[in-house]
Every structure is written in structure tokens, then in C-alpha cells.
Structure 1
């Protein structure tokens, strides 16, 4: 493969620093994870955004979370076709093979994917409307929820509320998966919707009884 290049030197240095400190000090734990396999209690579906650091937010160690990241932390509806469903495959593995007890959808402030969806809904993103746009077609999952925030005039507040709606949409779509619905109804799995403010470090949890997000 002629296009693959050596790892950047700063990443090589960071790796050696990790191997000499964190790994060296916890070698027995890492070897146990390798030999006994993973037993995460929770799966987290979060955004690809580099500012969202799931393990740091919850102070989690290796082996605690089964993490899947995608644009705008979206879960598409359950579908069976010939397409490749990375998010759906991760959910299936977490629920049916790993038997996680909790499935968490984590949204966040200043989400570029959500803003892109807003721009599409307002007719301001022709590049995302193009058939060949992977991001645009992925954000089609969220477009039906725009009507819930269309009347908000303040653009910043509209975006923040739509980010929360992205979490709600994913929770709703999770229940279209037969194995998720079954696990939830049997009391083997619980679903959780969260939204975090990157700048303030805040965390909100979705309350289905009120349909609103409340501070944790």
C-alpha cells in the first residue's frame, strides 16, 4: 500500500510515554483484559467530535465502556438490506453478544453535524443535499425532527435544542431494533439520553416523563 505513511513523530512519542507510564503501572490489568475478554456494563454512542471525551467525562478505565462514535451521535432506524450498517452492527454486538446493561446516547453542544442538518433544512447547504454527500445522507436521519425547533428564532438556542432532539431521535430509533426492544421490555437493558455542554462541562439527562433534559 504505497499511500500509507509512517506515524507522525509526536504520536510515536506519546505512545512510548503511555507505554512507559500508564501501561507499565497497570500491566496486570491490561493483561487481564486481554486474556479474560471485555465485559463492559454500558455502551455509549457519541459524536466523532474530538472535543467529546467520553471516558474522561465519566472517569472510566479501559474495559468499562463499549464506545461507538459517528457524526452527531445518531442511531438510524432498524433496516435489513444490503447496505453496510456500522452503527447498527455495533449496537447488535453490544446488546446481543456483550449483554450491556445500559445503552447511552451522548449529544453535545456546538455539534457541527447538527448545524449541518439545520443548514440543510433551511436550504443553506447545497453541498450536503448532493446525493453523493455521505454526511448529508447520514443527517437525513435527523431531518424529521427539525419541525420541533423550526419556530425558535435565536439560532444558538435553536442549535442547542436540536442537539438534544438528535439524542431523542436516536433513543426512538433504538426501540425499532427488535433485540433492543426485547431487552428493554425484559428489564435487561436500559436506555439513557445525555447532552453535554463542552465549554461549561455540564451534563443533562433526558426525562421521558417530561420530554425535557435536566441537569445531572
Structure 2
């Protein structure tokens, strides 16, 4: 099985829920599987550090997860219109993969969640794409053939799935948001499979 890495940071659980729906979409495609990974919170120098293994949920990501997978779905809550610091901290440590070209040609997509409907969803998705472009990845969004984009009153953008979590972070994913997450997973898996079949992922390491 070829694996797509679903890498995310989730503070209140909404982004983790989105990740699971993206993984479900990935695994609807024959020959493809999802690898769920998260990142630990960051803290100031001399503060207590998190355990090496999280108490629950997905394991923490390592650089080898990016090398071994044939595609990437990257998810974060919105922090002032940008990705959260823990995810940025992890990406900042991927220079060895940039030097080796390990991610060139692999498809990638992004997803996010915000407390308010206009809390910077699109700016967060767009800025999350920048380091992936530097790595030479092939970016995917959601086409308007996914008709939920035309009538959703919750999350959902052509740049990637999004979720409106509410001021207390307690709103569950709407049916439209779930569908768009799963659609992105399928599109990512289909593209990765086609890239593999065409020999367009030269740096693939499994």
C-alpha cells in the first residue's frame, strides 16, 4: 500500500476530526492508505516539555514520515491568519528534505479550522502552501465540481477544506465540511497514484 501522510496540529480536536475524514477519503482509493501524524505543542525555553509519545491520538511525526509517503495533507487551526506555531516549527526542520529533493513531485493539500467564520481561513490555507511550494510539491485544492462549495454556510474553500468551530471550539463538522474533507482525501490519493504510475515522483522513498 502507498501511504499519504495526513499531518496536523489540533488544539481542541476539530482539525484532528478533519484529518480523520481526509484519511477516510484517501482509503476509498484502491492501493492507497493514510498515515495520521501530529506534532507536539511548542513552549518557551526552560518550560516543561511534552512526552515523546502523546497520551492519545496519532503519533508524533518524524521527517521519515514525509520521505516514506507519496503525498501530504497538512492541517492546522488558524492563528492570526496563519498556521499554528507547532506545525511551523516542524516544517522549519525539514531543510534536509529540501536539500535532498525528497518531496519533489509529491502531491500536497492543506486544511484548517477557525473559531469564527471569517477568522482567516483562506489566508491560513494560502500561507500553509508556501513551504510546500519551496519543497517542489504539487499543490491541490478543491474544484467547484464539489457542489458543497457553492452553497455551504459553514466552512469550505477552493484552497482546501475548512471548518467553522465556533467561539468555544465546540461546533461539530457540518455535513458539507465532512464531504469536502473526504473529497480532498480522494483527490489527493488519486493524484498520488497517477503520479506514481507516470513515474513523476522521482524521490520516492518507502
TM-score, length of structure 2 as denominator length: 0.33
TM-score, length of structure 1 as denominator length: 0.32
Q: Which has the higher contact order (CA 8 A, sep 6+)?
A: 2
Which is greater in Rg?
Answer: 1
